[in-house]
């Protein structure tokens, strides 16, 4: 399973030892939502799932008709999103998150079942922390989880 | 006596799984799925697979419908359905179904109607085989648990 990453770790996910990271997982496939949720829960994460980009943005408080105080964005330590989704793609969601004032520091991981270098580079350039190939394995998620912990402070 | 029955059923299950792996029907991702089943999600595999069956049958109906129209076949829509089918098949480890989707998708990208018809036929065949075998597997598992004297909620 290939994992392409940006520089450094996910320290900006700012999870202290003993704290349970809260992950927002976005995927239009119900099967994949169930899988990623189980994988994350097995790695002691709290998980919220969303079935598309719009719902994800609404949850985070970045929806069009929202003001910042409506959202759950401040609770989220990591966003993991599928690339290929109808309507708003994972790339477009990534952009909106990175352009926002409140969520731009939260790491975003993009997943795809297709290994397309231009797609991967596009996402990394837009600020994705990591690109992961589906289907995800438990070992991938464990690695992700480790990177989310603060270390060496 | 109960214990012996359970052991034999477990051996039957392993034999069936080995066959399915050998035939390339399932791949390693299916094992990942099994590993996710635990005390907190005791029915995880059958839950996910049942979702897969429901979604797949819907997709197959849609694909059939799209190909029935002789005047104009919406190849783009076929491609979208096939992408979804490929993704879900890959997620549960249904390797042969996924591979047939790939070939079918290639035909749809070329607006190749006979190729698509052939693709659909193959896809339905592979999906049927997979569904039958997985049902067999789940049935053996239910029998095994009964034989082992475990209380287990019956799946449909």
Q: How confident is the model at residue A145 (pLDDT cuts 50, 70, 90)?
A: confident
CB spacing of A84 vs B83 below 8 angstroms: yes
Helix%, strand%, coil% for chain B, nearest 5: 80, 0, 20
d(CA B106, CA B76): 11
DSSP structure string for B113-142: HHHHHHHHHHHHHHHHHHHHHHHHHHHHHH
DSSP structure string for B41-85: STTHHHHHHHHHHHHHHHHHHHHHHHHH-SS---HHHHHHHHHHH
Over residues B122-135, the pLDDT tens digits come to 999 999 999 999 99
The token pair that represents A63 in the structure block: 């929806």
The token pair that represents B68 in the structure block: 């029935």
Distance from CA of B1 to the nearest CA of A (A): 36
CB spacing of A137 vs B91 below 8 angstroms: no
Phi, psi of A110 (to 5 degrees): -105, 135
> What letter does residue B26 receive in the DSSP assignment?
B
- Residue among A38, A86, A113 whose CB faces B41 most closely: A38
The position carrying tokens 């065949």 is: B125
Q: Tell me, what's the pLDDT at A4?
A: 60
- Interface probe with A: pick from B87, B92, B101, most Cβ of A within 10 Å: B87
d(CA A21, CA A10): 12
Phi, psi of A4 (to 5 degrees): -105, 130
Kindly give, in sequence order, each residue whose CB lies less than 8 Å from that of residue A83, ignoring residues fewer than 6 positions away.
A89, A90, A91, A110, A111, A112, A114, A119, A123
CB spacing of B35 vs A138 below 8 angstroms: yes
Give the closest residue to A150 by CA, choosing from A7, A2, A12.
A12
Inter-residue contact A129 to A109 (CB < 8 Å) = yes
Q: What is the ipTM of this complex?
A: 0.88
Q: Tell me, what's the pLDDT at A17?
A: 59
Q: Tell me, what's the pLDDT at B72?
A: 79
Identify all chain B residues contacting A34, using CB atoms and an 8 Å cutoff. 47-48, 51
Residues of chain B with pLDDT under 70: 1-4, 150-156
Identify all chain B residues contacting A135, using CB atoms and an 8 Å cutoff. 29, 32, 90-91
Q: Tell me, what's the pLDDT at A9?
A: 46
Q: How many Cβ atoms from other residues are within 10 Å of residue B69's Cβ?
A: 9
- Residue among B41, B80, B91 whose CB faces A31 most closely: B91
Burial annotation A118-143 (CB, 10 A radius, 16+ → b, else e): ebbebbbebebbbbbbbbbbeebbeb
pLDDT surpassing 50 at residue A151: no
pTM: 0.88
- Interface probe with B: pick from A1, A25, A135, most Cβ of B within 10 Å: A135
CB spacing of B52 vs A113 below 8 angstroms: no
Q: How far is CA B99 from CA B19, B94, B134, in A?
A: 18, 9, 18
Q: Tell me, what's the pLDDT at A74?
A: 86
Among A68-82, A87-101, B62-76, whose mean pLDDT is lowest? A68-82
Q: Tell me, what's the pLDDT at A72?
A: 86
Distance from CA of A140 to the nearest CA of B (A): 12
Residues in A whose CB is inside 8 Å of some CB of B read 29-32, 34-35, 38-39, 41-42, 84, 86, 113, 134-135, 137-138
Inter-residue contact B134 to B46 (CB < 8 Å) = no
d(CA B50, CA A53): 26
Over residues A1-39, the pLDDT tens digits come to 445 654 444 444 455 656 789 999 999 999 999 999 999
pLDDT surpassing 70 at residue A144: yes
pLDDT-above-90 percentage for chain A: 69
Identify all chain A residues contacting B44, using CB atoms and an 8 Å cutoff. 38
- Interface probe with B: pick from A31, A41, A111, most Cβ of B within 10 Å: A31
d(CA B102, CA B7): 39
C-alpha A88: how far from chain center: 15
Is residue B30 packed enough to be buried (19+ CB in 10 Å), middle (13-18) or exposed (0-12)?
buried
pLDDT-above-70 percentage for chain A: 82
């Amino acid at each position: 399973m290939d994992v392409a990453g940006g520089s450094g770790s996910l320290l900006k996910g700012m999870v202290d030892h003993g704290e349970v990271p809260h992950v927002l997982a976005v995927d239009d496939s119900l099967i994949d939502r169930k899988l990623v949720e189980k994988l994350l829960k097995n790695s002691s994460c709290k998980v919220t799932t969303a079935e598309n980009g719009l719902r994800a943005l609404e949850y985070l408080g970045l929806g069009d008709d929202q003001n910042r105080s409506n959202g759950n964005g401040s609770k989220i330590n990591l966003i993991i999103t599928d690339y290929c989704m109808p309507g708003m793609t994972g790339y477009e969601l990534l952009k909106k998150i990175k352009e926002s004032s409140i969520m731009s520091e939260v790491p975003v991981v993009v997943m795809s079942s297709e290994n397309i270098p231009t797609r991967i580079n596009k996402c990394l350039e837009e600020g994705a922390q990591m690109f992961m190939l589906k289907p995800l394995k438990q070992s991938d998620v464990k690695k992700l989880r480790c990177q989310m912990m603060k270390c060496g402070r | 006596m109960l214990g012996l029955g359970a052991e034999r059923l477990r051996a039957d299950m392993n034999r069936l799984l080995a066959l399915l792996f050998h035939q390339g029907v399932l791949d390693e991702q299916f094992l990942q799925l099994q590993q996710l089943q635990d005390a907190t999600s005791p029915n995880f595999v059958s839950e996910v697979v049942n979702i897969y069956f429901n979604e797949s049958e819907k997709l197959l109906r849609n694909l059939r419908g799209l190909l029935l129209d002789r005047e104009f076949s919406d190849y783009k829509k076929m491609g979208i359905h096939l992408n979804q089918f490929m993704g879900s098949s890959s997620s549960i480890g249904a390797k042969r179904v996924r591979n047939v989707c790939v070939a079918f998708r290639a035909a749809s990208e070329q607006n190749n109607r006979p190729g698509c018809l052939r693709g659909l036929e193959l896809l339905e065949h592979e999906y049927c085989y997979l569904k039958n075998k997985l049902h067999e597997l789940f049935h053996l598992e239910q029998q095994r648990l009964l034989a082992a004297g475990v209380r287990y909620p019956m799946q449909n």
